[in-house]
Amino acid sequence: MNQGFSDINSFETLFRTYFEPLVNFVNSRINHYENSEEIVQDTFMKLWDSRDTLVIRTSVKSYLYQATKNTMIDFIRKSKHINVDIDSINHIPIEGEVDLDPYIIRSELEKALLTLKEKNRIIFKLNKFEGLTYKEIAEHLNMSERGVEDNISRAVKSLKDILKDNKHIFK
C-alpha cells in the first residue's frame, strides 16, 4: 500500500487536508458546490475501496487531483443538467500528472479478461487478483501446477495482445 492510505487515521488526515482544495478545484470547473462535494466524496470512497491494491506512481497530491478530475469527468458525462465541455477538463494540467486513473485501467483489464477462455480467466484471476499460488490453484481446480502455469502464461500473452495499445497497463 502506498503512503497516505494504509490505515483509517492517515486516510482521515488525507481527507481533511485535501477535501476542501479538491472541492474548490472541481467547483471552479462546474460551478456547483454541492455537486463538487459529491464528486470529491466519490473520489475518496473509490480510493478507500481500492486501498489494498492501489499503486501510486506520483505524489499523493497529484494522484488525488487526477483521480478527482477523472471522477468529475464521469459525473459530467452522467449528468443531464451540467453543461461543461469535457475536452476542456481533459486538458487541465495536473502537477506530476499520472497517465490514467486505476479505475480506468481496471475497467480496460476487466473488458479484456472477458475475451479469454473461461478456464484461463478463472486461473488468471485466482492468481493475480486473489493472490493464490500456482500450487493452491492447482489443488483448488484439481489440476497440475504446470497446467496452472501454462494457463496463466496464455492469459498474459492474450491480454498483452488485446491491450497492446494501452502501454500504461503493460510496461
In this predicted structure, the answer to whether residue 5 has a pLDDT above a threshold of 50 is yes
Structural contact between residues 88 and 138, judged by C-beta atoms closer than 8 angstroms: no
Give the fold, CATH level 3, of 8-98: Rna Polymerase Sigma Factor; Chain: A (1.10.1740)
- HSE (CB half, 13 Å, CA atoms) of 94? 24
Give residue 2's pLDDT: 47
Q: Which of 59-68, 106-115, 124-133 has the lowest mean pLDDT?
A: 106-115
The residue among 27, 106, 20, 101 whose CA lies nearest residue 66 is 101
pLDDT digits (tens, 9 = 90+) for 152-163: 899 888 888 887
Mean pLDDT of the chain: 79
Structural contact between residues 116 and 159, judged by C-beta atoms closer than 8 angstroms: yes
Task: Give span(s): CATH 1.10.10.10, the chain.
Answer: 104-162
- CATH architecture of the domain with range 104-162: Orthogonal Bundle (1.10)
pLDDT digits (tens, 9 = 90+) for 48-74: 888 888 777 778 888 898 899 889 888
CA distance 107 to 13: 29
Q: Rounded to two decimals, what is the model's pTM?
A: 0.49
For the record, the C-alpha cell of 91 comes out as 486538458
Give residue 100's pLDDT: 47
In this predicted structure, the answer to whether residue 80 has a pLDDT above a threshold of 70 is no
Task: Give span(s): CATH 1.10.1740, the chain.
Answer: 8-98
In this predicted structure, the answer to whether residue 139 has a pLDDT above a threshold of 90 is yes
CA distance 81 to 128: 40
